[in-house]
Chains A and B, each alone.
Chain A
Amino acid sequence: MMQFQTRAETHWFHEWLAVILALVLTAATAAGFLALLGFEPQSALHRILIRPLASTYGVSELIAKATPLITIGVALSLSFRAGVWNIGAEGQLVFGGLTGGAMALALYGVDGFWVLPVVLLAGAVGGLLWGAIPAFLKIRFQANEILVSLMLTYVAILLMSVMVHGPLRDPDGFNFPESRLLHDAAILPKLFDQGRGHIGFVFALIFAGIGTWVVKRWHLGYAMKVSGLSPKAAHFAGYSRDTTIWLSLLIGGALSGFAGVVEVTGNIGQLVPTISPSYGFTAIIVAFLARLHPLAVIPAGLLVALSYLAGEAAQLSLGIPAAMTQVFQGLLLFFLLGTTVLVNYRILWVRAV
């Protein structure tokens, strides 16, 4: 009979062993799937996972996709540590993209070094406000933050749609639901001369660094962690649960909103009905892949970004539908959660009595 014995302390070695195991299992499943479709797994995997990275263009694209994933993943790893389940990062991203984009359109034609910072700030503030709604409703009325933040995601996406169909639509755009192209002063500089990788990636790295510092060195990070692990203990220690909820959702909202405006100003260059291929949801997988360590969010974000590139490559060169990406991202999360059992418990085989 299998028995679980709680480990007194989790060990970093087990943590990362579990992560590697989950990655291997996902890759093996992908290989099996490719074989099932009649491809030679090794060369097919090489074609979709390695070849996209063989050019500056590919690396640039990888960085472009990893930027929002890392930015949001850092915030979510803090929030999930604190036991605050902000599932609405996608909505905060979209709303931040909307407010930031609207600011950029309002400042259209204005030149100046200050335009871009103001636009980015507008995005972060928009996301922050969108994140403040579930925080307020949770604290004031005990309304479940998971459901509220998720409902607000649908509302934000519809708001974006209203705006690009109406007030923010390009007057010379032949009635397409798009804003006009943003003015150069509101466009984030590119990192390379190829691909879409932009300076937003540097911000993402800085956020990961700050997040690590908050977790390791800042008393507040500790208080948030205790509050997540044991609300009772946190209460006795005098840590306020309300503060933790506010911080988690405001940080989550601000960073997600920032990721949104960075998508708009760095990647898309205008407002369109859909500004994100579910980065806000995929960042949840990134946070778990990083085992909620902000610094580990960087490689985790790059890896998950690679899965987007792999999906595109599989679609182009193997003719596999794009939805494949989402299936394997979900599968990766399953494996990550399943293998966590090895981290938290010692598994004993005992003879049934």
Chain B
Amino acid sequence: MTDYGLLTSILHAILVASTPLVFAGLGALIQERAGVLNLGIEGLMIVGALAGFAAAIAGQPLGISVMAAALAGALLASVFAFLVLKCLSNPVATGLALTLFGLGLAALAGAQYVGRAAPQIAVWEIPLLSDIPVIGPALFSHDPLVYLSILVAVCLWWFLSFTRGGLVLRAVGENHDSAHALGFSVQGVRFLAIITGGALAGIGGAYLTLVQTPLFVEGMTAGRGWIALALVVFASWRPFRVIAGAYLFGSVTILQLHSQALGLAIPAQWLSMLPYIVTILALVLISARGQGHRAPGSLGQLFRASR
């Protein structure tokens, strides 16, 4: 990236740093719009990170690696779905269990992959657009997953806003009793939302191991799953605002790295705290403005059909 100039390389790096958050944030969003609060995003991400990495090390192409990550995320999420939807277990605790279990599982199964590097992912230069000076190479010369993350956001927005399925999903999230009375399967919709969200979180994790680092290290998600959950609140449960929020957080991460490179005389740890502190500040700002009340009406509540 050195031949592009500093601004270009910073913009480019911001997109790379933000993309895992876009995937994971959208994965949390689709579940929350269906009324499911899943605190297991962190666990889903790291399991996806490992599955994608393992596939890439085994020589699979990018498409297969991403699918492996999505499948791993969806599989682990189905455990959450079973417990919350079938056993009516406490969703907060179940999500935490998912995170603890996922982190442990990835550490255990991933020990053999530590120290290996994933093959380089080819860059897709978008014709014409990537020729624009400065912005072109920064925004339109990326691996396919960056574009996919935007595409997923567009699809999700379209699905939620303009399709019958999206309407049903939102109805289930806003008021599950009414949705049930209208004859919709609350548990069925939530199951699909959880599986989809798990798959997206898995892909978000895989982006870390396939593109961003590209290595696998125990606990490498470093709280990104939790930041993704905060992003959804920050975004008032809207897909495009998740992208905006993710890029904001990505910028904080990258500025932190660059200020280190510029030789600021501050210990690295102070700067590493920034993303977490910014997350808290963002939560406070949004919540103080009353935006928190835009949460789906049935968010985090268990549903049991009454006859």
Contacts and interface: CB of A to CB of B under 8 A. Distances in A.
A13 to B, nearest CB: 19
Interface string A316-353: 00000101111111110110011111001100000000
Contacts of A39: none
Interface stretch (B5-13, B152-160, B193-201, B282-290): B282-290
A162 to B, nearest CB: 4
Given A154-B222, A162-B267, A337-B87, A327 B92 contact: no
Q: Is the interface of A mostly helix, strand, loop or mixed?
A: helix
A147 B279 contact: yes
Interface in B155-196: none
A341 B304 CA distance: 12
B226 A285 contact: no
A129 B100 CA distance: 26
Contact of A154 (B104, B223, B270): B223
B152 to A, nearest CB: 23
Given A323-B107, A327-B105, A334-B83, A151 B233 contact: no
A330 B87 contact: no
Contact of A341 (B88, B97, B100, B108): B88
Nearest to A136: B284
B115 to A, nearest CB: 15
A246 interface: no
Contacts of B87: 337-341
A324 B280 contact: no
Interface in B67-93: 79, 82-83, 86-90, 92-93
A333 B277 contact: no
Q: How large is the interface on B (under 10, 10 to 19, 20 to 34, 35 or more residues)?
A: 35 or more
Interface stretch (A41-49, A113-121, A137-145, A250-258): A137-145
Given A150-B226, A333-B97, A341-B87, A142 B273 contact: no
Contact of B104 (A80, A284, A326): A326
A337 B92 contact: no
B269 A158 contact: yes
Given A154-B276, A155-B273, A334 B101 contact: yes
A300 to B, nearest CB: 14
Contacts of A288: 93
Q: How large is the interface on A (under 10, 10 to 19, 20 to 34, 35 or more residues)?
A: 35 or more
Q: Is the interface of B mostly helix, strand, loop or mixed?
A: helix
A162 B270 contact: yes
B24 to A, nearest CB: 14
Nearest to B278: A151
A178 B109 CA distance: 31
Interface string B276-307: 11011001100110001000000000001000
Nearest to A83: B92
Contact of A321 (B97, B111, B270): B111
B283 A143 contact: yes
A337 B94 contact: yes
A330 B104 contact: yes
Contacts of A165: 267, 269
A217 to B, nearest CB: 26
B279 A323 contact: no
A25 interface: no
A222 interface: no
Contacts of A159: 269, 273
Contact of A150 (B83, B98, B223): B223
Given A142-B287, A330-B97, A330-B101, A154 B273 contact: yes
A151 B222 CA distance: 10
A327 B280 CA distance: 29
A4 interface: yes
A324 B107 CA distance: 9
A146 B92 contact: yes
A155 B229 CA distance: 17
B177 to A, nearest CB: 15
B108 A321 contact: yes
B242 to A, nearest CB: 15
Given A142-B288, A154-B276, A158-B273, A337 B104 contact: no
B88 A345 contact: yes
B292 A142 contact: yes
A6 B306 CA distance: 11
In order of increasing CB-CB distance, the 10 nearest A-B pairs are: A330-B101, A326-B104, A323-B107, A337-B89, A323-B108, A333-B97, A327-B104, A141-B288, A341-B87, A330-B100
21 contacts: A142-B292, A144-B233, A144-B292, A146-B39, A146-B92, A147-B230, A148-B280, A154-B276, A158-B272, A165-B269, A281-B96, A321-B108, A323-B218, A326-B100, A326-B103, A327-B101, A330-B98, A330-B104, A333-B93, A338-B82, A340-B90
Interface of A: 4, 6, 80, 85, 87, 137, 140-144, 146-148, 150-152, 154-155, 158-159, 161-162, 165-166, 281, 284-285, 288, 321, 323-331, 333-334, 337-341, 344-345
Given A137-B284, A143-B283, A151-B277, 20 more contacts: A4-B88, A143-B292, A144-B230, A147-B229, A150-B223, A152-B280, A158-B269, A162-B270, A281-B96, A284-B93, A288-B93, A323-B111, A323-B218, A326-B100, A327-B101, A330-B104, A333-B96, A333-B101, A341-B86, A344-B88
